[in-house]
Structure 1
Amino acid sequence: MALVPYVENSLPALSKLHNSSAQFRFANHDLRLAQDWKKLGVAAVVWDAAVVMCMYLELEKVELKGKGAIELGAGTGLVGIVAALLGAKVTITDREPALDFLSANVKANLPPDSQGSAVVSELTWGEGLERYPAGGFDLVLGADIVYLEDTFVPLLQTLEHLCSDSTVVLLACKIRYKRDTDFLSMLKQRFRVEEVYYDKQRDIHLYQAWKLPPQRDL
């Protein structure tokens, strides 16, 4: 469901979201991501948080080559595509209605020799987690996935399932409302969280998190 209703003459700041495609250059590749705000809303446009996440991945502050990564709420797939181009083996996930659109973007933007580096898979947070290996990923990526309060608990459940003590979580987001800081407080109860990057122009915060060891009863 789109947070902002589709309007042809929308606010100028949102006009780029109504374009049928968005073009970028990351990992020495020209990428063209299809967008379809009218059909799929927030799941089918490239948000600034995804762009900032890709910029950060290019800085090579997180090891990607040969690592197993999973992207949550992938939308257009930009972050997962860039992670694959930078050498990760990526599972790119979203809810079922977005999968055909997401798969088409992944196929169109990964060269033939990289097609095996990314798979698209259905994942609704908090549901069917047994289909994914517990603690089975080196890296968990999420760009602009913190905005609906009803999803916070299942999102945390999903992060806890996917992460081992050595898994790195990267979350890129705007801090729009009190509920966003509330989520960070919830996350800090289960994870060690640090802000590692801030893009002032786009007002995007990037957080890195590691799962805390389970507390032992005294």
Structure 2
Amino acid sequence: MSNAEDNNTGAEEKVYRYCGHTLKITMFKGSSLGLSAYVWGPALVLCQYFQDKKLDFKGKKVLELGSGTGIVGILAALLGGHVTITDVPEVLKQIQYNVNANIPDASKHHPNVCALHWGTDQDDFPSDYDFILGSDIVYSPSLFPGLIQTLVHCSNENTTIYLSTNMPARMGTETFHRELVTRKFNSELVHTNGMICIYKVTKKHTR
């Protein structure tokens, strides 16, 4: 992993390597993006999980929620997924920059980057995703109802959802994963790395 920092803009580039791909991720720390301007541990643990489990996104329809820097969605696209990367509008410029830096425009797996406000915009998205990905998106109880609404709308009984969460560092994580999610979904803890947990979530069958 190497760093290159531009002190004029506050932008910092880091290089990561997963699944045989080199990812150059720029974080616009001087652009008032707050927490979204960082690559957090849960994203890296999820990328490593893809590598360790040799997950295959080839030809699969993938949605990433609360992407931040775009690293997880970009890796899924490099692994063959048809990916839609989402976050709030002010973060999209950072994501698009990183998509352009890592995936050629001519690539048939060039991700779509668009805004998605949980609990508000989900109806503008389909419900036929094969995978939904989220890293460090469980962090504020005020956002949990909208996040659940979005997960319910955008998934079906064949969708696999991976949520990677730093359990003790974010407020309300235990309640979200063990009580709120399980009302509508089956949830299985599939990996831990220190305090970071990856849950594999699938929609409960409706009778």
Corresponding residue to 2:198 among 189, 194, 206:
206
Bigger share in helix: 1
Residue 8 of structure 1 corresponds to none
Which amino acid letter does the alignment assign opposite residue 110 of structure 1?
I
Q: CA deviation at 1:204?
A: 1.1
Unaligned runs of 5+ in 2: 1-9
Report the secondary structure of 1:164's partner residue. coil
Superposed structure 1 runs of 4+ greater than 4 Å apart: none
* 1:13-32 paired onto structure 2 within 5 Å: 20-32=12-24
Residue 181 (structure 2) aligns with? 187
Query: How far 1:29 moved relative to its partner?
Result: 2.2
* Alignment length (residue pairs): 195
- Aligned amino acid, residue 122 of structure 1: A
**So what's the TM-score if we normalise by structure 2?**
0.88
- 1: CA distance, partners of 2:11 / 2:44: 16
Matched, 1:163 2:155: yes
Q: What residue number does 2:6 align with?
A: none
1:88·1:117 contact (CA, 8 Å) conserved in 2?
no
Instruction: Check whether the contact 2:80–2:109 (CA below 8 A) recurs between aligned residues.
Output: no
Contact 1:73 1:93 in 2 (8 A): yes
Note closer, same or farther for the CA distance 1:190–1:150 as it changes in structure 2 (3 Å cut). same
Q: CA RMSD, aligned part only?
A: 1.7
Structure 1 unaligned residues grouped into runs of 5+: 1-17
Q: Distance in 2 between matches of 1:68 and 1:99?
A: 20
Structure 1 residue 19 displacement after superposition: 7.0
Counterpart residue identity of residue 183, structure 2: Q
C-alpha distance in structure 2 between counterparts of 1:158 and 1:52, whole Å: 23
Answer yes or no: is 1:82 the counterpart of 2:75: yes
User: Distance between the aligned counterparts of 2:16 and 2:57, measured in 1?
Assistant: 20
77-86 vs 169-178, greater mean Cα deviation: 169-178
Corresponding residue for residue 89 of structure 2: 96
Instruction: Report what 2:34 is aligned to.
Output: 41
SS at match of 1:102: helix
2:73 and 2:84 in contact (8 A); partners too: yes
The answer to whether 1:197 aligns with 2:191 is yes
Partner residue, 2:58: 65
Q: 2:43 aligns with which of 50, 74, 94?
A: 50
**How far off is 1:44 after superposition?**
1.4
Is the Cα–Cα contact under 8 Å of residues 170 and 206 in structure 1 kept in the other structure? yes
Task: Please list the CA deviations of residues 181-205 of structure 1 after superposition, one character each: whole Å capped at 9, or x if unmatched.
Answer: 01111001110000111112xx210
Distance 1:127 1:158 in 2: 8
Query: Closer, same or farther in 2 for the Cα pair 1:101/1:178, shift >3 Å?
Result: closer
Q: Which residue of 1 aligns with 2:7?
A: none
